Structure 1
Amino acid sequence: MKNVTEFKVNIPQSDVDALKARLENTRWPGEAQDSDWTFGASEAYLKGLVAHWISNYDWREHEAALNKYPQYVADVGGIKIHFQYIKGSGKNSKPIILTHGWPDSYYRFHKIIPLLTTGEQTCDLIIPSIPGFGFSERKAVTTEAVADLWKKLMTENLGYSKFYAAGGDVGMGVTKALASKYPDVVAGVHFTDLGYPMGQEDPGTMSEDEKQFAQFVQQWWYREGAYAMVQATKPQSLAYGLNESPVGLAAWIVSFGTAGATPDLVEAAFGGKDEMLTNICIYWYTQTIATSMRMYKEDAMAQWGGSQPLQKTNVPAGVAVFPREAQFPKEWAERFVNVVHYTKMGEGGHFAALEVPELFAGELRKFLFSLK
């Protein structure tokens, strides 16, 4: 490995104590009677979550779990990139870089590490934190810039001549950019979503299934898309409150796509209550909520500045559609990637690797080892 140093998560006890003090001194805004999740994150739910956070959640236990697998920091194009690197035990392990999204983190993939690195068909897993997220440098860059960094990390820092890539949410965009820009080194890509119709498509070229998908997305966007609009336009205004209040930060993260949700579904989406808190703590302790949101603005400015859409790639692509994810049809995916493997999954949602790790890992392995 080149320009790489070992890394351990080690949050100072003073930071842990300060977080507890902030939680204990929360100023609650109040909520409309019987509003539940209608206006955003439920205050009744958050009060219960904070009580658990103060009395039962043990950061040191979860910090130890984060340090269970090897972690490193690399200088990649002058930017500090944090990543986990776990080699598979099989003879012909396939190197794959897994990219998270927002509002999750590299922690999205921690449950699938043992599932994909043991047995006969294994992977070498490279799981980085996007710049501006977690333990990588607090610097927001565009999705395409992340793809450029990942290519350098895999080929120059780690020495792979060929590799695979997978991701969802923001990680979808990074993975798609990798395949489009670097088909000579990317051997296969896997997705759990492939973007959404934004009114720029010619309806005459869309199938009936795609039109129905577009209608669903439009309705979802009006109900749930406020987070993306704010982050693509005024992320700094929001950042002051979220960087100051852990409850504010938690509220913004747990309200992601939760209209009509139940507490069980909210927590399941993040893999469980403690897993959800660990993800929130990563944002809190690293103070990266501002830069993570700023990535939306960077992408928006690039688009407004006339950046050209990526070309469809011929790199073999696998697609897994989970039932609590937007149900895009196969022909929508085929607009962007060379779909050779498409599966409708029976369970799981947006953070499938956290929610249904066995299903996610099994489907990813099936795709990877179907490629010649």
Structure 2
Amino acid sequence: MATTVDERTSATAVRPFKVEVPQADLDDLRARIAATRWPEKETVDDQSQGPQLATVQALARYWLEEYDWRKCEAKINSFPHFLTEIDGLDIHFIHARSPHENAKPLLVSHGWPGSIVEQLKIIEPLTNPTKYGGSADDAFHVIVPSMPGYGYSGKPTEKGWGPDRIAAAWDVLMKRIGYDQYFAAGGDWGTIVVELLAVNHPASVLGVHVNMAGVIPPEIDVQFFKNVLGASPVLPNLPADLTDDERKCCEELDKVWTGGVSYALQMAARPQVIVGQADSPAGLAAYLLDHDAKSLAMITRSVNGEPEGLTPSDVLDNVTHFWLTNTVVSAGRLYAENTYSFFGVKGVTEVPVAVSVFPDELYPAPETWARKAYPKLVHYNRLPKGGHFAAWEQPELYVDEVRTGFRTLR
């Protein structure tokens, strides 16, 4: 992975950065895709065994014959990029300033198997809303960092880089570039990180927006943890007084915990075992596609030619980004570092919170639980479409949610 940066002048310097992938790296990628040794077809007619062979093969053909990384590279480089060292590790980030005078700083934190690629569609509408039919009063300066071990950030060489340490690094980053107070938004790991920002640095955070809200009550959350291997079924033992929305949430979570997060359990226990994904582009693609059943179904439809929130090129932008940076293993180690509940209440009591519920998220966070989890809930809305990768899949809806959620807090 070739990059261009200014020479550092001090450990805390903020250095300009540009992505420049050598053509030899892209030629090598194509050769590896063409040389893929494919396994036999799955023994079922659905996705219960993971991404179907036909889907991955069709995506690989598109990768070889139609996909153009240079378009993604140009889009990435259309925004200002920087590196700075925090807590001994280089942190990469986009810092796109708004042309509007009263813009507020907004940090957007990605998750897995995402990257800064997830946020490329929302940066311009958030920084320059008047260009997209919005009001200058809703403008933000947008900061999108790459998680440690992801993308162009450094790869930790020792244990300890869990979500709380990342949250602390994000607070240092924001202050270093001139923002003592700021808004924060995130999904997936990004939700956990920005919620911990609000818990551990409440004076810094003006408000939080999440689209995978951490609202599961502790007494129910712990039951799901105990049932990971199916030894203690949760649904028959739920409290009798749950509302319909709360029970629906638990039913969807049950699907996630009893088969939908196998990759998370694997990386939490033994992340180094996925070394093969660093050597096979097709293997990497299949692994990254298998995040959740609804997203996989949506991507499969897209690969088969149906218009969806993500195009095949969208999907391959992210997969190719992982490949060129060789970060599948280093990114996966975040699961091994984590000591927090994925979906449970984190204790965000001092900071206002906005919640957006997209219908194909892992679970539909009930408003009743959101109000208990976030005493300063300022916005709760259920959207008509979209899933786990909301900013990537439905950028217009996501941008509107962020604007609306923070409007009263500016």
Q: TM-score, normalised by structure 1?
A: 0.91
User: How far does the alpha carbon of each residue in 1:256-278 deviate from its partner, in whole angstroms, 9 at most, with x for none?
Assistant: 21378252267977722111101
Alignment correspondent of 1:241 = 276
Task: Name the residue aligned to 2:297.
Answer: 261
Distance 1:290 1:269, change over 3 A: farther
Give the CA deviation at 1:219.
2.6
- Which one of 47, 50, 55 corresponds to residue 45 of structure 1? 55
Q: Which amino acid aligns with 1:151?
A: D
User: What one-letter code is carried by the residue in structure 2 that aligns with 1:250?
Assistant: A
**Superposed displacement of residue 335, structure 1:** 3.7
1:191 corresponds to which residue? 210
Distance between the aligned counterparts of 2:196 and 2:282, measured in 1?
35
Q: Given the alignment of the two structures, is residue 273 of structure 1 paired with residue 312 of structure 2, yes or no?
A: yes
1:326-345 matched pairs, under 5 angstroms? 326-337=363-374, 338-345=376-383
Letter paired with 1:182? H
CA distance in 2, matches of 1:261, 1:65: 27
Code of the aligned partner of 1:109: Q
Which of 190, 196, 217 is residue 177 of structure 1 equivalent to?
A: 196
Question: Are the counterparts in 2 of residues 165 and 175 from structure 1 also a CA contact under 8 Å?
Answer: yes
Contact residue 77 and residue 152 of structure 1 kept, 8 A: no
Q: Distance in 1 between matches of 2:127 and 2:379?
A: 22
Q: Is the 8 A contact 2:302 2:310 kept in 1?
A: no
Normalising by structure 2, report the TM-score: 0.83
String of CA shifts for 1:283-306, please: whole Å, max 9, x gaps. Answer: 11111110111100111xx469xx
Q: Please, which of 184, 204, 227 is the counterpart of residue 263 of structure 2?
A: 227
User: In the aligned structure 2, how far is the partner of 1:244 from the partner of 1:346?
Assistant: 39
TM-superposed CA distance for 1:57, in Å, is 0.7
User: Residues 138-175 of structure 1: CA distance to partner in whole angstroms, max 9, x if unpaired?
Assistant: 127101111000000001x2121211100000000001
* 1:1-372 aligned within 5 A: 3-32=13-42, 35-118=45-128, 119=130, 120=136, 121-139=138-156, 141-155=161-175, 157-195=176-214, 197=216, 199-200=221-222, 207-208=242-243, 209-238=245-274, 240-258=275-293, 261=297, 263-264=300-301, 271-299=310-338, 302=339, 310-325=346-361, 326-337=363-374, 338-372=376-410
Q: Is the alpha carbon distance of 1:330 and 1:269 closer, same or farther for their aligned partners in structure 2, counting shifts above 3 Å?
A: farther
Q: How many correspondences in the alignment?
A: 365
- Tell me, yes or no, if the aligned pair for 1:183 and 1:313 is still in contact at 8 Å: no
Matched to 1:318, the amino acid is A
Take 1:235 and 1:361, find their aligned partners in 2: how far apart are those partners? 34
Tell me the distance in 1 between the aligned counterparts of 2:241 and 2:114.
32
Q: 2:210 touches 2:355 (CA, 8 Å); kept in 1?
A: yes
Counterpart AA for 1:46: V
Q: Secondary structure of the equivalent of 1:125? A: strand
The SS at the match of 2:297 is: coil
Partner Cα distance (2:310, 2:88) in 1: 34
Stretches of structure 1 that go unaligned for 5 or more consecutive residues are: none
Cα deviation for residue 34 of structure 1 reads: 5.5
1:38-66 CA distance string (max 9 Å, x none): 31111111111111101111111211111
Bigger shift: 192-201 or 211-220?
A: 192-201
1:366 Cα deviation (Å)? 1.4
Task: State the shift of 1:195 in Å.
Answer: 3.4
For residue 137 of structure 1, report the CA deviation from its aligned partner.
0.4
After superposition, the Cα gap between the structure-2 partners of 1:78 and 1:361, relative to the gap in structure 1 and judged at 3 Å, is same
Structure 2, unaligned runs of 5 or more: 1-9, 131-135, 224-236
AA aligned opposite 2:139: T
Structure 1 vs Structure 2: percent identity of aligned residues? 35
> Which SS does the other structure have where 2:183 is aligned?
strand
- In structure 2, the CA distance between the partners of 1:163 and 1:335, relative to structure 1 (3 Å rule), is same
